[in-house]
């Protein structure tokens, strides 16, 4: 019981430290602002999807894997569209990203949905 409690307490902390190190690594890559926010968002979503089961939160299956993948795909298409607008290849539209934090949140949700769908697929 003590080992399970220690795992639930320490795994999220270690994952947070790994995520901070990965964010520093992304800053060192000298990517454009859009790509850096997108990569940081994807790392944040994957980190959240890994931390929750490591802390003991989990389920055998959720039955909605197809919808999770569809939601991640829609968010991926939206981020791709916004990347084309940021590069100047498409005219501006109401779907344009309001800033880097918008792209970060969209990529975090997409990565989380995809990771949960893969982790909880039916066996």
**Alpha carbon distance, N-terminus to C-terminus of the chain:** 28
Does position 115 have pLDDT exceeding 80, yes or no? yes
**Which pLDDT value is given to residue 55?**
60
Does position 20 have pLDDT exceeding 80, yes or no? no
Whole-model pTM: value is 0.72
**Which pLDDT value is given to residue 58?**
63
Does position 119 have pLDDT exceeding 80, yes or no? no
> CA-to-CA distance for 6 and 13, rounded, in angstroms?
11
- Sequence spans of domains, the chain: 2-119
**Which pLDDT value is given to residue 106?**
87
pLDDT in tens, 27-63: 888 888 889 899 989 988 888 787 777 666 666 655 6
Note the helical H segments in the chain. 2-28, 33-54, 65-86, 100-119
pLDDT in tens, 54-99: 666 666 655 667 888 888 899 999 999 999 988 889 888 887 777 7
**Cβ count within 10 A of residue 109:** 17
**Which pLDDT value is given to residue 104?**
86
């Amino acid at each position: 019981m003590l080992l399970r409690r220690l795992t639930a307490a320490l795994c999220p902390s270690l994952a947070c430290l790994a995520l901070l190190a990965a964010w520093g690594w992304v800053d060192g890559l000298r990517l454009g602002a859009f790509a850096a926010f997108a990569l940081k968002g994807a790392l944040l979503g994957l980190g959240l999807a890994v931390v929750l089961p490591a802390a003991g939160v989990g389920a055998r299956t959720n039955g909605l894997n197809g919808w999770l993948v569809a939601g991640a795909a829609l968010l991926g298409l939206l981020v791709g569209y916004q990347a084309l607008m940021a590069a100047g290849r498409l005219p501006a539209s109401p779907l344009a990203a309001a800033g880097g934090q918008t792209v970060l949140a969209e990529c975090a949700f997409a990565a989380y949905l995809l990771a949960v769908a893969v982790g909880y697929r039916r066996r």
